[in-house]
Amino acid sequence: MKRIILFLATNFLVIVTVSLIVNLLGLKPYLSARGIDYQSLLIFCAIWGFAGAFISLQLSRWTAKRAMGVMLIDQKNPPDRESARIVELVTDLCRRAGLSHMPEIGVYDSPEVNAFATGPSQSRALLAISSGLLSRMDDRAVEGVIGHEVTHIANGDMVTMTLLQGVANTFVMFFARILTFMIDNALRTRDDDRRGGGLGYFGYFMVTMLLESVLMIFASMVVYAYSRRREYAADAGSARMSGRETMIHALEQLARATGPQDNRAPALSTFKINGHGRGLAALLFASHPPIAQRIEALKRLS
């Protein structure tokens, strides 16, 4: 639940910051004496909604390195045998996936058994592996996990998720402002205009923020639902490269090794190999399907 709250807070803060700037500067180009210009409002929200998402994407590698303490491996001169083995494996899997550029490869110190890929494009990607995964998984399972992350890069999932988040941000801002305008108008029709009817400046801002927070929860359900579909595709991609049994073996080891989760960078949860959670909240906001379902999906692959 902590991961869910932190992830929602990260995205919500983007919307709040934009809304605060807009309100402080009095920028409401979509409002006129006749009411709301819906086309102008949609364009306005799209610009700000996608801007926040793409700024986050452009900073994703930098953020991941500092938040998770990722130590990059010198791919031309690996410092030790294990690093050389990782570079060789990633190089081979990238070749099989048809990638023309190698991602940055790094290891972060954490007891969690996980790995993630992030970055603004295939040519500017980062693939990071936890020390917990390397110490608790055998070579075959590590290959399955890395193949899964390489598939995310090859499929352009980081950009796709950013586009989806931009759409979510856009419509959260759009509908929150429409609903606030309607509430303000409803109050004005009941109040005496001489007493300053309606929400008032501060009330207008606070109601907009409240509605955005509620709508963001519902929008995030859609984002997480797509994220779960994306995991099945990444599992299938790894199975095509290394064999179905290898990916099933990796998931089985992942299920047995599941332990503490590293929450230093909650926004990266959708880019890791494994997500955690139980109950209704996990069902609606889980970035990954249950491992048992992922294994069953692999078994059905032809």
- Just list the catalytic residues: 149
d(CA 14, CA 51): 9
What is the number of other CB atoms lying within 10 angstroms of the CB of residue 281? 13
d(CA 81, CA 73): 12
DSSP for residue 122? G
d(CA 45, CA 55): 15
Structural contact between residues 144 and 32, judged by C-beta atoms closer than 8 angstroms: no
d(CA 60, CA 266): 12
d(CA 99, CA 215): 38
Structural contact between residues 133 and 113, judged by C-beta atoms closer than 8 angstroms: yes
Tokens representing 161?
């998720």
Q: How many residues are listed for the chain in this entry?
A: 302
Tokens representing 176?
């929150």
Q: Determine how β-strand 104-108 pairs with β-strand 126-130.
A: parallel
Which residue has 């709301």 as its token pair?
Answer: 36
Tokens representing 280?
């209704």
Cross-strand bridge partners of residue 31: 36
Nearest Cα to 299, choosing from 230, 266, 252?
252
d(CA 114, CA 142): 10
* E runs forming strands in 119-215: 126-130
